[in-house]
Amino acid sequence: MWNSLSTDAHQGIVAEITTYAAGQGDLIHAYVARPEGDGPFPGLVLVHHMPGWDELYQEFARRFANHGYTVI
């Protein structure tokens, strides 16, 4: 069931900016936060406001990661 995932706090998280190659040579920069460890972890796509991710949305991502989610 979709809500059977654990949301217990994890001991640590990894938060970093990563770059993905897109079509026609474009690069997509993304902020990714996830729990430390091997996983697997459920994932979330966090939709930010314009002009992009800022400190507030990075904090949102870290909070979800602290509860066991991988967030991009």
Distances (CA, A) of 18 to 27, 28, 63: 10, 8, 19
The confidence band for 5, taking pLDDT boundaries of 50, 70 and 90, is: low
Average pLDDT over residues 8-32: 90
Contact 68, 10 (CB under 8 A): yes
pTM of the model: 0.78
The confidence band for 20, taking pLDDT boundaries of 50, 70 and 90, is: very high
Average pLDDT, the chain: 88
Structure tokens at 42: 């459920």
User: For position 4, what pLDDT does the model report?
Assistant: 60
